[in-house]
Amino acid sequence: MKFVLDADQRDFAASLDALLSSSETVAVARSWADGDSAPGLRLWARLAEQGVLSLATDATPVELAVAFEALGRYAVPGPWVESAAYLPVALGHEVEGVATVALPPHVPYALDADVADQVYVGDSLATEVGDLVGSVDRTRRLFSVAGEGRSDDAAFDLAVLATSAQLLGAGERILADSVTYVKQRKQFGREIGSYQAIKHALADVRIALDFARPLVLGAALGEVPASAAKVAAGDAAYLASRTGLQVHGAIGYTQEFDLSLWITKVRALVTAWGTPAYHRARLLDELVG
């Protein structure tokens, strides 16, 4: 089966891309990482006007996957999975403003609780927000929280789908930037992209992302378990990040280089909303249970 977005979904994707491509998201992400949330909250309001926060209640998971792939491609910071995917389903209504949630053991910390209007543990408001916990992705500001609440399986799966789509978008961005770089960088008088080893490495990333995409869309259609999408998207995005780091050489390690925003985000999202081991075990249970 070949899945193709319909005209409305393509228009929605194009509108998000136009908004984000003109929003200096790299600067927004860097400010967010430094504790200045004002630019990010302005972008949050613009995306809310586009209907991103209402997708879980007023649209289908396909539109939600389209939106989160765009968020990943542009490294948009903030608790979007929590506010636009998990909480609307768990609470039964669209959230107002910025909201976040912790859901132990798979989501032990509340993302960006310092800027959230509401902080939940499961489906109940947190009783206390604790200390900031470090993350490999500086734009992911994690906080310990206290409280008790129930988990919602359907909401959890939608959050897993959203995270998978973010990983797919981030992987696509890393691949695109890497291809651009290897066409410009020269060594021994040749573009490094002309070397077979680099061509093969980038081709492997392209294949991995192309195999992950049908699983993400299949999960959005309800035909594939969300855990399968998370495993495939996580593996593909991680391969993209490792390959991107290698082809960029030493510059790829530097925090000042924009590529680092996506590399660290991928590393964090691979284990967000359930580790690869958890999702593989979940798939095994579904297959043999």
Residue 222 clears pLDDT 60, i.e. is over it: yes
36 half-sphere exposure, CB direction, 13 A CA radius: 7
Contact 50, 147 (CB under 8 A): no
Residue 15 clears pLDDT 80, i.e. is over it: yes
- Residue 115's pLDDT band (cuts 50, 70, 90): very high
Residue 252 clears pLDDT 80, i.e. is over it: no
Fold for the domain defined by 153-288: Butyryl-CoA Dehydrogenase, subunit A; domain 3 (1.20.140)
Q: Closest by alpha carbon to 33, among 269, 260, 253?
A: 260
**Mean pLDDT over all residues of the chain?**
93
Quick one: average pLDDT of 246-262?
84
Quick one: average pLDDT of 1-14?
86
Quick one: average pLDDT of 27-48?
97
Residue 1 clears pLDDT 60, i.e. is over it: no
Report pLDDT digits (tens) over 165-207: 999 999 999 999 999 988 877 666 677 665 678 889 999 999 9
Quick one: average pLDDT of 247-272?
89
Q: What is the pLDDT of residue 134?
A: 87
25-39, 85-99, 194-208, 224-238 — which is least confidently predicted? 194-208
- Residue 55's pLDDT band (cuts 50, 70, 90): very high
Q: What is the pLDDT of residue 195?
A: 66
Report pLDDT digits (tens) over 133-169: 989 999 999 999 999 999 999 999 999 999 999 999 9
- Residues pairing with 125 in the sheet: 120
